Amino acid sequence: MHHPFRGIRSRAAALAVCTLTTTLVAVGATPAYAVDDTERPTAPGPITVVAVDTTWIELTWAASTDNVGVVRYPVGARFEDFGAQYSTDTNSIRITGLRPSRTYTFSVWALDAAGNSSVSNPTLRLTMPPGDDQPPSAPGQPVAYDVAATLVWLRWAHSVENVALERYEVFRVDAGGALTRVSEVYQYPPGRNSTQISGLAPNTTYTFVVQARDEAGHLSPLSASVTVTTLPPPPSCSVRSTVGQWSDGFVARLAVTNTGTTPIDGWTMRWRFYAGQQLRSLWGAEVVDRDSSYLRVRDVRHNALIPPGGTVSLGVVASGSQTPQEVTVNGGVCAVADE
């Protein structure tokens, strides 16, 4: 099969070592010249590939001209929304640390000692040769968390990949074993190994698996499956709040009532809680997590069941003046009444 880079040979001459921060001064360019110089260099000539491998490339271009002198050529290498910049004082460069099979856009421009930059500069779009012949390992078995009536969060241990992962694909296992893709988790930047699956039916059992795909298109084996049952529809609830306030904090006692017709068997409660606030004491519940705007707590087992018309009590001591508001139980918004 014809290879797009066959016949391109490495040059024998040593090429410039490139860094992100090197500043080069042109021979013969004096500070006086730099101060007086307002003329831009001409644009470099078209970019030409001298040699290429799976993780590096050598480029060259026709040199720019300038009335005083070109001091360096910044060179950019961009993949999708991510890029890096290099620099050389010659009209050629070797860029390393690239990834096989990725399509990069390379660009080059000229700078003189006064900081004048060329315009209408050339670019080159090029796909690196493939260098990956191994599929990723299977992702770890997904774990379900933050289960609600119509959504669930899944997380899993990362696959092992010899070059670079492109994405994880999450599938719902339907009746008869058919797979329906429900989420894609791209690895640009790398690191994400969780996703939210939404649009589910309340009080329904689902099975999910995860598969990894690398940048060469190789697929991993499927992960072990996880089965999860969504919660019943969000309950209707009301909260009676008794608050004692002082200059730098408050104590709030909450009475949460199930105003619906079905029992609440296990609950997670969330309310407004700003980043600057400090939680000093909590009873009748335990903390799940908090972000910059909300605090989430859950039952402490003995008070997990709230029958229709039943009430559970909890309390919180915290700094600040923002008392519990925007209260939800299992995703259902509660009516809040202060006493």
Residues 76-125: tens digit of each pLDDT: 999 988 899 999 999 999 999 998 888 999 999 999 999 999 999 999 99
* Number of residues written out for the chain: 339
Answer yes or no: is 211 within a domain.
yes
Claim to verify: residue 334 and residue 246 sit in the same structural domain: yes
**What confidence score (pLDDT) does residue 22 get?**
35
Claim to verify: residue 224 and residue 270 sit in the same structural domain: no
Claim to verify: residue 115 and residue 147 sit in the same structural domain: no
What does the radius of gyration of the chain's CA atoms come to, in whole angstroms? 30
Answer yes or no: is 183 within a domain.
yes
Six token digits for residue 271: 């309310």
Closest to 331 measured CA to CA, from 230, 240, 252, 253: 230
Is the CB of residue 166 less than 8 Å from the CB of residue 136?
A: no
Q: What is the distance between the alpha carbons of residues 97 and 307, in angstroms, rounded to a whole number?
A: 61
Closest to 255 measured CA to CA, from 310, 320, 326, 325: 310
Claim to verify: residue 147 and residue 216 sit in the same structural domain: yes
**What confidence score (pLDDT) does residue 303 get?**
96
Which CATH number is 50's domain given?
2.60.40.10
- pLDDT grade, residue 225 (50/70/90)? very high
Claim to verify: residue 109 and residue 168 sit in the same structural domain: no
Six token digits for residue 93: 């460069």
Model confidence over 294-309: pLDDT tens digits? 999 999 999 999 999 9
Is a pLDDT exceeding 60 seen at residue 31? Answer: no
The structure tokens 């529809």 sit at 233
Write the CA distances from 33 to 8, 37, 169, 189, integer angstroms.
40, 6, 58, 44
Q: What is the distance between the alpha carbons of residues 174 and 240, in angstroms, rounded to a whole number?
A: 43
Answer yes or no: is 16 within a domain.
no
Domain tally, the chain: 3
Domain stops at, among 69, 102, 127: 127
Sheet architecture: strand order including 165-173: 179-186, 165-173, 205-214, 226-229
Is the CB of residue 286 less than 8 Å from the CB of residue 301?
A: no
Answer yes or no: is 290 within a domain.
yes
Answer yes or no: is 13 within a domain.
no
**What confidence score (pLDDT) does residue 83 get?**
92
Is the CB of residue 95 less than 8 Å from the CB of residue 20?
A: no
Answer yes or no: is 17 within a domain.
no
Using the 8-state DSSP alphabet, how is residue 117 labeled? B
Sheet architecture: strand order including 286-290: 279-283, 311-319, 249-258, 237-246, 332-338, 328-329, 268-272, 294-298, 286-290
Task: Please state, for a pLDDT cut of 70, what percent of the chain lies above it.
Answer: 89
Claim to verify: residue 105 and residue 69 sit in the same structural domain: yes
Claim to verify: residue 148 and residue 225 sit in the same structural domain: yes
Q: What is the distance between the alpha carbons of residues 71 and 73, in angstroms, rounded to a whole number?
A: 7
Claim to verify: residue 73 and residue 157 sit in the same structural domain: no
Answer yes or no: is 89 within a domain.
yes
Claim to verify: residue 150 and residue 206 sit in the same structural domain: yes
- What are 268's strand-pairing partners? 298
Which CATH number is 306's domain given?
2.60.40.290
Q: What is the distance between the alpha carbons of residues 274 and 322, in angstroms, rounded to a whole number?
A: 7
The pTM (predicted TM-score) of the whole model is: 0.50
| Structural domain boundaries, residue 200 | 143-229
Answer yes or no: is 5 within a domain.
no
Task: Report, as an integer, the average pLDDT of 49-68.
Answer: 95
Six token digits for residue 173: 């296992």
Write the CA distances from 331 to 58, 91, 259, 264, 266, integer angstroms.
56, 61, 14, 12, 12
Is the CB of residue 165 less than 8 Å from the CB of residue 214?
A: yes
Is a pLDDT exceeding 60 seen at residue 197? Answer: yes
**What confidence score (pLDDT) does residue 4 get?**
43
Claim to verify: residue 163 and residue 184 sit in the same structural domain: yes
Domain stops at, among 212, 229, 246: 229
**What confidence score (pLDDT) does residue 222 get?**
98
Domain stops at, among 69, 95, 127: 127
Claim to verify: residue 243 and residue 224 sit in the same structural domain: no
Is a pLDDT exceeding 80 seen at residue 291? Answer: yes
**What confidence score (pLDDT) does residue 279 get?**
95
Claim to verify: residue 173 and residue 247 sit in the same structural domain: no
Is a pLDDT exceeding 90 seen at residue 189? Answer: no
For 305, the 3-state DSSP assignment is: strand
Using the 8-state DSSP alphabet, how is residue 175 labeled? G
